[in-house]
Amino acid sequence: MIRITQNAELDDATRAALASGRAQPALDLFIETLMEMRGISETEGQAIAGAALESETPVDLSADALAMTFAAIERGGALPTREMTYPELGGLPVRLREAVLAAEGKAGWKTIGLGIRSLDLGAVGGLKAEIIRVAPGTTVPRHTHKGRELTLCIHGEYLDSGAVFGPGDFSYRDAAEHHEPKALAGAPAYALAVTDAGLKFDGLLGMFQALFRL
């Protein structure tokens, strides 16, 4: 297991992947959440993309495009104001919070063990993102993963392989490494986990190597 607590150093290729949205959605969500939790911003890359949009050659839309958009706005009504299942997650970075709300509106939280629940955030392109909730003082039974796993602590604290993880700390773990993370007493611990089922991390690891000098 590699535990990473220091700040990220972005290279140009990583900046470009983040600005343009080229990375796989699960990993993109992971990195954006991580950066926001650590107060890292990447304004130049985003501004390049914004300026490029301005210099884009406009392409005409169908004549009724604006009317159809207004119609869609009226059909949609106000933004749904669903309550989050766990109010302590209300302070999450906005994109992750939206992903949580969307997932709670679909399959929702599933109990996967005593005091352990998971929320599937969905997968596109081979990577899976989920949130794991571990009740205070609960240990997740010793397990391995089929593939590799990136885990970001998003709330509370947990002990894993001898190290304490707090919000913004994350780890990278190879397949076949056993672990049994334990939430510290007092508050539930939440982690955002991205797994690859053993197939898909190769191209993505480059990004993490560059980002965190693994």
Q: Which spans of this chain sit near other proteins (rule: CB under 8 A)?
A: 7-17, 19-25, 39-62, 65-66, 68-70, 72-73, 76, 79, 94-95, 124-126, 200, 202-204, 206-207, 209-211, 213
143: DSSP letter: B
55 vs 141, which CB is nearer to other proteins?
A: 55
* Two structure tokens written together for 90: 């209300």
Least separation in angstroms between CB 116 and other proteins: 28
Give CA torsion, residues 69, 70, 71, 77, to 10 deg. Answer: 110
Q: Where are the alpha helices (DSSP H) in 115-212?
A: 202-212
d(CA 136, CA 152): 17
146 vs 213, which CB is nearer to other proteins?
A: 213
58 vs 162, which CB is nearer to other proteins?
A: 58
Least separation in angstroms between CB 121 and other proteins: 12
Provide the 3-class DSSP secondary structure of residue 119: strand
187: DSSP letter: S
25 vs 115, which CB is nearer to other proteins?
A: 25
Least separation in angstroms between CB 175 and other proteins: 17
d(CA 208, CA 26): 14
Least separation in angstroms between CB 23 and other proteins: 6
